[in-house]
Amino acid sequence: MLLIKDISKEYCTGGLTQKALDGVSLNLRDSEFVAVLGPSGSGKTTLLNVIGGLDRCDSGDLVINGVSTKRYKDRDWDSYRNHTVGFVFQSYNLIPHQSIISNVELALTISGVPRAERRGRARQALEQVGLGDHLDKRPNQLSGGQMQRVAIARALVNDPSIVLADEPTGALDSQTSVQIMDLLKQVAKDRLVVMVTHNPELAREYATRIVELHDGSIVSDSDPLQIEGSGLKRARHRKMGKASMSLGTSLALSFNNLRSKKARTFLTSFAGSIGIIGIALILAVSTGVHAYIDKVQEDTMTAYPISIQEQSFDLNKIVGSSQEGAQSKQAGKGAGDAIYPDDSAITSASALTSSISTNNLSAFKQYLDNPKSEIRSHIGRVGMQYSYDAKFSVYDHDPKGTLVSASGVTIGGQGGGMASQMASMNPNSSDPSQVQSMQMAALTGKAQAKSSPSSFTEIMPGQDEARAPIGRVIQDNYQVLKGSWPKDKDQVVLVLDSNDRIPLATLYELGLKPAGDYNDMMAKLNNGQKVKTDTAKLDYDQAMKQSLDLVPASDQYVQDADGHYRYVGDDAGEVAKLAEKALKLKIVGIVKPVHKASATPLPAGVGYPRALTDYLIDYAAKSPVVSAQQADREHNALNGLAFSAPDDGAKAQQAKDYVASLDQVSKAAMGTAVMSSGQSGQAGQVQGQVAGQSGAQGQTRAQGRDGQAVAGTPAAQQAARQAAAAASFDRYMATAGTDKLVSIYEQYVRPQVGSYKDNMTSFGLISRSAPSSIKIYADSFEAKQAITDAINSYNDRAKKADKITYTDYVGLMMSSVTTIINVISGVLIAFVSVSLIVSSIMIGIITYISVLERTKEIGILRAMGASKRNVSQVFDAETGIIGLLSGILGVGVTLLLLIPGNALIHRLMGTSEVNAFLPVRAGVILVVLSVLLTLLGGLIPARKAAKQDPATALRTE
Ligand code: ADP
Ligand code: MG
């Protein structure tokens, strides 16, 4: 029973107030066929909408089965429309993109009835209206009468107790109208049917009751119902059943809608995808550029690690001071009135010498090795590299069997003069630290006489030496032409430069070409003659057959009869003996830098493994000369001289001891020098003589021995003269005062005393905690900056002696690159943000248009009992699908565009190293982003759609 109590409804449009309903009261029976008649505009539709819960009245009450609707919530109205009421409209109001059966199912779908049951009931309802054969057709494939029957089936499918029909035959011809009326009459048998019509004949023929409306008021009622007692009882409030729609239903609805408008959907998605394409392209290009920049950074940092030498000079300081110098030259410009001194040369020389410093690498190594040091987290993939100056000599036999030294061909001879030194300089040495150590030697005047052959370089091991004897930088930048990398301490490789060459001098040094040719060539060079070089190429196999004899530095010191050790590295006879029992190095491979190598830390020559360095470190520690020196730390193991002379007495005594220990030849030479220099003895001159004397010592000694064998020769006469000179020097020493003896000590003995530390260095003793150089590799400029910052803060904390001077080549070369990169990144991010905003606005607009388009559908859904939430869900589903399509389309189009795009980039940039590419993860994120953005953009339109008044929505065409 439905009671309408005195309801009124007004519409205000502009200034005009229209009374659509004016105090209508009407009681309807549970089962009757009521026809509402009246002229157009009399309020029939408004009345029906109020009864059906599509519209609210301004005043009055609607009592349904004894329940007042005054306190109905939105949810209750939704449920009422869904379960209690069925609507039939004049213009059918079927959803065009859904099949007939789906349209009928809709009411059940909204109330969450399972799919199978839905299907069955919808089919049954359609069969009931005689459309059992048209289930899968679309509404526009049916005639008007058929469509109206579908609408009736849809109204009936939920078995409502009230069916409301608004001019159901208004658009039909009379014959079809009759069929529909028959149907409705049948429907009305067991429920209430309220039908609006302006066809009085039909009304009179079919309806059981006729109500006439005029200007919003009832003017006649053929069968009014008077209610007493129970009907007038106070209305109660009661909850209705639920009306709910699953997300799947929303998606299906939207998906079907989109499917029916393929072209439009495509265009919409395309419009939405433009933003995504923009973002994806920018992302791809910036990823490519960043990958390139990262690679350049890593390559640069690999080629130019931060390097710290045991002894170093601060390049930054020198560059700085020379710039300062240039400036001060400007500032110190004369006024044209006098002579001004130009001190720039001396200032820069002073800057140079004052910048030389010794680094305490063992303290710094402790800092680096501490896993808690802040520097550790910035170190790149290549890691840190400690190098040790392992000391050794290498000898080999040239094709003619001559014994050759790898340090300068001739044994004991650094002496080919300028020519040979220049000839052995490696022209392709790209390693700046090597260049630096050469400059270092020149600056400090520290001769490299007894250091290892310069053509030998250690192959940088990996971070974990044991597992990776050959480091990543080497593996990445060198290729093996023949053989393999060394696997053991006695294996080495020949390293060629990128043009497959090795310096000719090195080939001579390695005995790969006859040493005689080299010596001839050097002789000619020193005489200023032209030379013809031997450029014949060598077979890999032939070169790999060469065996190299490695003699550790400590083995080059042999004990003499007097208990002192003697250096025999420049004595060809001794060397031949040493070479016999030397460690035989095998050349196991030939390598060269790969094409476009980013770093070439191995210069052309010989590369040896870290295992050899380790072997040499251990070997030196156990050697006799080292043990001997360690046993007596006070005296030089080479000549027995005391390292220290605390006072004049000690010095005088030591001068005496020294002279006494000399053999006759040396004593005579020294005596001549001391006695002839007299008081005026200038240190420089004397020292020069001493140097000359000690160089010639071995030779003279040998001559002396030979000379005695043949008496009466000029040599014998010379020996006699020397004996006399020695004897007179002995007398001189016996009478000399302390002053004299001290001065003799200072001039002749002191230069030969040396120091414990220097001796140990010469013997090749190395402590693993004190590397000779440290290289720190970073992966990016930023990390490098962090590393130098960490070193600076280490320096701030460290004692003065422990402060570290490092060389940061990259910092010197390109400090501004980082800024440029940051600016570029910033610009790209700005672009991306703009694209994002543009694309979300675009999507919002598109969704909004879609809402406008589907207003009618919203009305239908609401009439079926869909809640506001359901409606917004449908739209969210639609925007979501569009977003997904946009995203996929955007990413797809981007991938296609990248093909010509990359070709263009390669052309414009002139390098194929910059490759724009979209990472998979970014692609997925973009699709998700597109969905999220579209949802966000569609949120407001979807809310608006949900808020739409269903009655108004249905009125729109
Ligand atoms: P009928 O269905 O009998 O033709 P309606 O119920 O549609 O009449 O309309 C009743 C009156 O209310 C009409 O005068 C119409 O102009 C007015 N009306 C209906 N809906 C609105 C609306 N949304 N805004 C303003 N006036 C309306
Ligand atoms: Mg109407």
Q: Give the pLDDT confidence score for residue 513 in this predicted structure.
A: 86
Which of 7, 11, 47, 219 for a ligand 1 pocket mutation test, highest count of atoms within 8 Å of Cβ? 11
Identify whether residues 31 and 175 lie together within a single domain.
yes
For 513-527, how does the pLDDT look when each residue is reduced to its tens digit (9 = 90+)?
A: 888 888 888 888 888
C-alpha–C-alpha distance, residues 151 and 131, integer Å: 11
| Cβ within 8 Å of residue 538, ≥6 positions away | 507, 512
Atom 23 in ligand 1: which residue has the minimum CA distance? 952
Contacts of 274 (CB under 8 A, 6+ apart): 839, 842, 890
Q: Is the CB of 952 under 6 A from ligand 1?
A: yes
H helix count then E strand count, the chain: 35, 25
Does 700 or 914 have the greater pLDDT score? 914
For residue 639, is it within any domain?
no
Looking from the CA of residue 39, the nearest atom of ligand 1 is 3
20 lines ligand 1 (CB under 6 A): yes
d(CA 128, CA 122): 10
Strands 403-405 and 456-458 come out as unpaired
Residue 436 CA to residue 633 CA, distance in Å, equals: 33
What tokens appear for 571 in the block? Answer: 């004595």
Tell me if 937 CB under 6 Å of ligand 1.
no
Count of the separate structural domains present in the chain: 5
186 & 198 share domain? yes
46 ligand 1 Cβ < 6 A: yes
CA distance 243 to 112: 7
* Residue 485 lies in domain: 390-631
pLDDT score, position 121: 93
d(CA 558, CA 566): 5
Q: What is the distance in A from the centroid of ligand 1 to the CA of 80?
A: 23
98-127, pLDDT tens digit by residue?
889 989 988 888 877 888 898 999 999 999
Taking the centre of ligand 2 as the mean of its atom positions, its distance from the CA of residue 58, in whole angstroms, is 19
Q: How far apart are CA 145 and CA 34, in angstroms?
A: 21
Are 566 and 560 contacting, i.e. CB atoms less than 8 angstroms apart? yes
- Considering the domain architecture, whether residues 215 and 292 belong to the same structural domain is answered as no
Ligand 1 centroid, distance to 235 Cα (angstroms): 29
If asked whether residues 861 and 902 sit together in one domain, one would say yes
- Substitution site in 37, 45, 956 for ligand 1 pocket (most atoms within 8 Å of beta carbon): 45
- The CA angle 322-324-329, to the nearest 5 degrees, is 95
Region class of 93: left (phi > 0), else alpha (psi between -120 and 50), else beta: left
The better pLDDT of the pair 749, 182 is held by: 182
The last residue of a domain, from among 580, 601, 631 = 631
For the ranges 213-227, 326-340, 905-919, the maximum mean pLDDT occurs at 213-227
Among protein residues, the one with the nearest Cα to ligand 1's atom 25 is: 11
Looking at 192-279, which runs of residues are DSSP E strands? 192-196, 209-214, 217-221
Q: How far is CA 34 from its chain centroid?
A: 77
pLDDT of 711: 52
Pocket test for ligand 1, best of 8, 9, 13, 42 (most atoms within 8 A of CB): 42
Whether 348 is covered by a domain: the verdict is: no
Place of tokens 């640069």: 300
Instruction: Using the atom order of ligand 1, give the atom closest to the CA of residue 167.
Output: 2
Supply the CATH number for residue 193's domain. Answer: 3.40.50.300
Atom of ligand 1 nearest to the CA of 9: 12
**Is position 636 within any domain?**
no
Could you give the CA distance from residue 453 to residue 585 in angstroms, rounded to a whole number? 14
- Is 60 exceeded by the pLDDT of residue 257? yes
State the virtual CA torsion across 732, 734, 739, 740 in degrees, nearest 10.
20
Distance from Cα 41 to the centre of ligand 1, integer Å: 6
Q: How far is the CA of 241 from the centre of ligand 2 (A)?
A: 30
Sign of CA dihedral 922, 923, 925, 931: positive
588 phi/psi in degrees, rounded to 5: -105, -5
Residues 493 and 413 in one domain: yes
470 with 546, same domain: the answer is yes
Residue 182 in tokens: 């028959």
Q: Both tokens of residue 361?
A: 């690498």
Residue 640 lies inside a defined structural domain of this protein = no
* Residue 458 near residue 495, CB atoms below 8 Å: no
DSSP E strands in 517-608: the ranges are 547-552, 557-559, 565-567, 583-593, 605-608
Residue 527 per-residue DSSP state: T
pLDDT of residue 905: 85
For the record, the structure tokens of 67 come out as: 């329940």
* 8 Å CB contact between 670 and 729: yes
Do 202 and 88 sit in the same domain of this protein?
A: yes
Same domain, 316 and 225: no
Domain boundary among 631, 658, 682: 631
- Among 760-774, 814-828, 861-875, which stretch is predicted with the lowest mean pLDDT? 814-828
Residue 39 CB–ligand 1 contact under 6 Å: no
| pLDDT (0 to 100) of residue 90 | 87
Most confident of 161-175, 571-585, 701-715, 717-731: 161-175
Q: Please, which pLDDT band fits residue 413 given cuts at 50, 70 and 90?
A: low
pLDDT range class, residue 414, cuts 50, 70, 90 = very low
Write the residue with the smallest CA distance to atom 24 of ligand 1: 11
Degrees to nearest 5, angle at CA 569 with 563 and 570 = 110
pLDDT bracket for residue 319 (50, 70, 90): low
Take atom 10 of ligand 1 and give the residue whose Cα is closest: 43
pLDDT in tens, 471-512: 888 888 899 999 999 988 889 999 998 888 888 888 888 888
CA torsion sign, 423 to 424 to 427 to 432?
A: negative
Instruction: Tell me: do 192 and 280 sit in the same domain.
Output: no
H or E stretch covering 478: strand 478-483
Mean pLDDT of 351-379: 81
Residues 398 and 477 in one domain: yes
344, part of any domain? no
Condensed to tens digits (0 to 9), the pLDDT of residues 147-177 reads 999 999 999 898 899 999 999 988 888 888 8
Q: Would residue 623 count as lying in a domain? A: yes
- How many A from CA of 157 to the centre of ligand 1? 29
Residue 216 near ligand 1, beta carbon < 6 Å: no
Of the CA atoms within 13 Å of residue 445, those in its CB half-sphere come to: 1
Overall average pLDDT of the 372-400 stretch: 84
Q: Are residues 396 and 382 in the same domain?
A: no
Considering only CA atoms, which residue is closest to atom 14 of ligand 1? 41
> DSSP string of 29-55?
-SS-EEEEE--TTSSHHHHHHHHHTSS
The answer, yes or no, to whether residue 803 has pLDDT greater than 90, is: no
For residue 166, report the distance from its CA to the centre of ligand 2, in Å: 7
- 865 shares its domain with 794: no
From the CA of 182, how far away is ligand 1's center (Å)?
29
Tokens 């009757």 correspond to what residue?
32
pLDDT at 311 over 80: no
121-153 per-position pLDDT tens digit: 999 999 988 888 988 899 999 998 899 999 999
pLDDT score recorded for residue 834: 81
Question: Is the CB of residue 816 below 6 angstroms from any atom belonging to ligand 1?
Answer: no
Q: What's the rounded mean pLDDT across residues 691-716?
A: 50
In a domain, 768, yes or no: no
Q: What is the DSSP string of 407-449?
A: TTBSTT---SHHHHHHHTS-TT---HHHHHHHHHHHHH----T
Residue 407 is assigned to a structural domain of this protein:
yes
90 Cβ inside 6 Å of ligand 1: no
Contacts of 47 (CB under 8 A, 6+ apart): 21, 24, 36, 196, 213
CB of 211 closer than 8 Å to CB of 34: yes
Q: Is the CB of 43 under 6 A from ligand 1?
A: yes
Percentage of the chain modeled with pLDDT above 70:
86
Per-chain mean pLDDT for the chain: 80
Please give the pLDDT value at position 240.
52
| Predicted pLDDT at 237 | 45
Closest CA to ligand 1's atom 11: 20
Whether the pLDDT of residue 622 is over 70: the answer is yes
Q: Is the CB of 527 under 6 A from ligand 1?
A: no
Instruction: Report CA(875)–ligand 2 centroid distance (Å).
Output: 29
Dihedral sign from CA coordinates of 610, 615, 618, 623: negative
